[in-house]
Amino acid sequence: MATIFAIVGTALVVLFGSAVVFSVPGVPGSCGGKLQTGRFVESYTDNVLGTSFRAYGDGAVINAGIGIGDVVVEPRHVLLGGAVLCDIPEKAQHVTVYRERGRLRIAADGQDVYTTDKLWW
């Protein structure tokens, strides 16, 4: 199954020119990639729906299975549902989006910049 997702992901990269990566649905996982700016963005989830990552220019779109929309990582902000969720340092080289036990956490260069106590289903 993972091989099929890898083949489909590779085909989408060739077709659309941007990285599209999926974890295997039904298994907690992670995915991510390097943006054109050199920043590495990744997503970790314990959600059985898995996670997906799509890079575009200097940003990335992550679906971490939180049920209310995609998490968008931009050069200086992280957005959820089109609204700014938190600011991140523009020079951060590694941004991670965690979805753990129904909660969302975002880290930039290993430092938490956003954590919620709210449960996302």
Q: Stretch 78-96: mean pLDDT, rounded?
A: 93
Does position 13 have pLDDT exceeding 50, yes or no?
no
Q: Which pLDDT tens digit goes with each residue over 34-44?
A: 999 999 999 88
Give a yes or no: residue 120 inside a domain: no
**96 against 102, higher pLDDT:** 96
User: Which pLDDT belongs to residue 22?
Assistant: 45
User: Which pLDDT belongs to residue 120?
Assistant: 59
Give a yes or no: residue 68 inside a domain: yes
Range(s) of the domain holding residue 37 = 2-115
Does position 62 have pLDDT exceeding 50, yes or no?
yes
pTM beyond cutoff 0.85: no
Query: What total of structural domains would you count in the chain?
Result: 1
User: Using CA atoms, how far apart are residues 55 and 101, in angstroms rounded to an integer?
Assistant: 25
Give a yes or no: residue 79 inside a domain: yes
Does position 71 have pLDDT exceeding 60, yes or no?
yes
Give a yes or no: residue 121 inside a domain: no
Give a yes or no: residue 51 inside a domain: yes
DSSP string for the chain: -HHHHHHHHHHHHHHHSS-EEEPPTTS-EEEEEE-TTS-EEEEEE--TT--EEEEETTEEEEE-S-SS--EEE-SSEEEETTEEEEE--TT-SEEEEEEETTEEEEEETTEEEEE--S---
User: Which pLDDT belongs to residue 45?
Assistant: 82
